Amino acid sequence: MNSFEQNIEKYADLAVRTGVNLQQGQTLVIRAPIEAVTLVRVLAEKAYDAGAKHVHVDWSDDELSLIKYRKAPEEAFMEYPAWKAKGFEELAAGGAAFLTIYAPTPGLLKDINPERIATEAKTTAVALEKYRNYTKSDGVSWSIIAYPTEAWANKVFPDQPVTQAIESLWDVIFKVTRIYEHDPIAAWNEHNAKLADIVAYLNNKQYKQLIYEMNETKLSVDLPKQHVWKGGASRTQQGIVFNPNLPTEEVYTMPHIDGINGVVHSTKPLNYGGNLIDHFSLVFENGKVVDFSAETGYETLQHLLEMDEGARHLGEVALVPYRSPISLSNLIFYNTLFDENASCHFALGQCYPTNISGGTSMTDEELTQHGGNKSHIHVDFMMGGAEMNIDGITEDGKREPIFRDGEWALDGL
């Protein structure tokens, strides 16, 4: 076995044992692009070694998706297979773990009518809502990892031959997921512990508001009472510890649906629905986007914001230091799993019920009453940088530093 094969083995083992933390007798569902078949086979072996009962694979293919967008009739985008949605629901209800290999092709759908893309995105979101309720409330263990397809590698390393570009992207993936460490699982335990210290600090503070200032970004974000910061490892409702994202550098919580005011400017491109949105800004009043602009992808951004009422509100605020390993690579990945861990970011759309005390047992109406946002989308976009300053406002009105010049400025940490 050569060194690359050894690293793939370690990567798959990390995904199974730290990512979803597969339990004896549990079913694993892998959602993967067809290009990742070699990795999927290794993942299946590791899963069965860990005691899996079944490994089910849901394959996808960007080229088939493109053919559908080009050739299918309009009504095709208004339907989602009921058997497939029901299948995911039954697997989640039965306690399966879900592992997604995320490797979208940047700009794949640049020549497709954005309305078609928006219609299918909404149709899919509605059909899978019951299944996604399990993941967003940590009713199951789930995790996302990456795989360097040719199209993605060429986008990140456009000046390299495709074979070299793929090797370069694998090298980055292995670095930021700590695969080059002697014991990646132990390294992740240590990393999770550091994030847990920050989470504990912020949860103890219970800031009522965050103030963001960086260049043209000037924004205030209210936080609901009894909000909960999370980051690194999560825990299912059954007590299983898992890592939703590999890699991850963020801590995050829920903003108040009506409490965002000011303007925010993006700092990295957003790959949404196969199209790029870049150099965009959003203006908020009382929590809602009331104006927006984009140098690239304006129409795509417009359709995103028109998905439903909650699409114009925030569901997540996330803090990431500028000098994170992903940021220090000085690469733009055109992949949210990586770019969101190189920059402070927000998410338009659905909040996570786990980000407020008692949220997983609340109805949608109760969650909204407590300041949470309801939407069929959850779309992260990056807005941080080396100049970012963030202050927290305490319940008694005191202003305290959280970030200075893009780095943590927490007292005592």
- Specify the residue for token string 């002697």: 182
The predicted pLDDT at position 188 comes to 97
The predicted pLDDT at position 105 comes to 87
User: Would strands 217-222 and 241-242 be described as parallel, antiparallel, or unpaired?
Assistant: unpaired
The predicted pLDDT at position 104 comes to 84
The predicted pLDDT at position 273 comes to 79
Hey, what amino acid is at 23? Q
Answer whether 255's CB lies under 8 Å from 274's CB. no
- Specify the residue for token string 């801590």: 251
pTM for the model? 0.92
Helices 129-136 and 114-127, axial angle in degrees (round to 10)? 70
Beta strand spans in 286-374 (E): 288-296, 314-319, 345-349
Per-residue confidence in pLDDT tens, the chain, 413 aa: 689 999 999 999 999 999 999 999 999 999 999 999 999 999 999 999 999 999 999 999 999 999 999 999 999 999 999 999 999 999 999 999 999 999 888 889 989 999 999 999 999 999 999 999 999 999 999 999 999 999 999 999 999 999 999 999 999 999 999 999 999 999 999 999 999 999 999 999 999 999 999 999 999 999 999 999 999 999 999 999 999 999 999 999 999 999 999 999 999 999 897 889 999 999 999 999 999 999 999 999 999 999 999 999 999 999 999 998 899 898 999 998 999 999 999 999 999 999 999 999 999 999 999 999 999 999 999 999 999 999 999 999 999 999 999 999 998 77
Torsional sign, CA 274, 169, 333, 372:
positive
Q: How far apart are the two ends of the chain, measured CA to CA in Å?
A: 42
CA 362 distance to own-chain centroid? 23
Residue 219 CA to residue 384 CA, distance in Å, equals: 12
Checking 4-8 for CB contacts under 8 A at 24+ apart, the result is: 4/170, 7/170, 7/174, 7/179, 7/180, 8/38, 8/39, 8/42
Closest among 62, 12, 76 to 33, alpha carbons compared? 62
The predicted pLDDT at position 170 comes to 97
CA 333 distance to own-chain centroid? 14
Closest among 351, 347, 326 to 272, alpha carbons compared? 347
Torsional sign, CA 11, 15, 18, 23:
negative
The predicted pLDDT at position 412 comes to 76
The predicted pLDDT at position 127 comes to 97
